[in-house]
Chain A
Amino acid sequence: GQNIDQPTEMTATEGAIVQINCTYQTSGFNGLFWYQQHAGEAPTFLSYNVLDGLEEKGRFSSFLSRSKGYSYLLLKELQMKDSASYLCAVMDSNYQLIWGAGTKLIIKP
């Protein structure tokens, strides 16, 4: 079966760095997405990785290792507004998005 695993909840301090991990097992791979979702709102796109390595975009970076079926989202200089759920999703061989359950990130002052 297809499976995406990510921690249910994480807590971090304002100004610090946090890494949210995602491991996956899917039938085929056409890229991995990270989305941010604030409570009661729709997800917003953060990043897309299809090749191994680190993609940096401002305070957010995303890493992919296809051989390990592993990705992480790195958030630097955390701000209170970063409190949200972070969803990992993998596009399988049929170009369908397989979603993780999301990681709720709590930022404390």
Chain B
Amino acid sequence: GAVVSQHPSWVICKSGTSVKIECRSLDFQATTMFWYRQFPKQSLMLMATSNEGSKATYEQGVEKDKFLINHASLTLSTLTVTSAHPEDSSFYICSARVPDRTAYEQYFGPGTRLTVT
């Protein structure tokens, strides 16, 4: 159990366009999901915490108008990178917390590699 999927697994887009990444919890309901970004040879950087039915909480330095997060249901959160630029090229990973697990363990999606040309 506790499977998280992401779609797409990789995407190439042109500078100035927008890209939507989906994160789904397949066999559990996730009230809280997290969006991370990881640049090559660096650790995970938390971008925002997504709560179902409410606004996302963004980390300092992350532009909320550029990285739009919507968590409309208990199994789906989306991240939209608006007006993408080459510096937005990165590995984007979502994770979800399993609500009935006391260890607050996070399960990660497989990640989405975004390349902006």
Give chain A's interface residues, CB within 8 Å of chain B: 30-31, 33, 40-45, 48, 50, 87, 91, 95-97, 99-102
- Nearest opposing residue in chain B for A101, CB measure: B43
| B interface with A by C-beta (< 8 Å) | 34, 42-46, 91, 93, 103-111, 113
Q: Specify which chain B residues have a CB less than 8 angstroms from the CB of A45 in the assembled complex.
A: 105-107
Q: Which residue of B lies closest to A98 (CB)?
A: B46
Can you name 16 A-B residue pairings with CB atoms under 8 Å? A31-B103, A40-B91, A41-B111, A42-B93, A42-B109, A42-B110, A43-B108, A48-B103, A48-B105, A50-B103, A87-B44, A95-B104, A97-B34, A97-B46, A99-B43, A101-B43
**Extra A-B contacts (16), CB below 8 Å, given A42-B108, A87-B43, A97-B46:** A31-B104, A40-B113, A41-B110, A42-B93, A42-B111, A43-B44, A45-B105, A45-B106, A45-B107, A48-B103, A48-B105, A87-B44, A95-B104, A99-B44, A99-B46, A100-B43
**A97–B93 Cα gap in the complex (Å)?**
14
A99 proximity list for chain B (CB < 8 A): 43-46
Bound-state CA distance A48–B91 (Å) is 25
Docked-complex contact A33 and B105, CB < 8 angstroms: yes
Complex CA distance for A74 and B91, rounded to whole angstroms: 28
* A102→B43 contact, CB < 8 A: yes
* Cβ-closest chain B residue relative to A104: B41
In the assembled complex, the CB of A7 is this many whole angstroms from the nearest CB of chain B, namely 13
> Given A96-B46, A99-B44, are A44 and B104 also a contact pair (CB < 8 Å)?
no
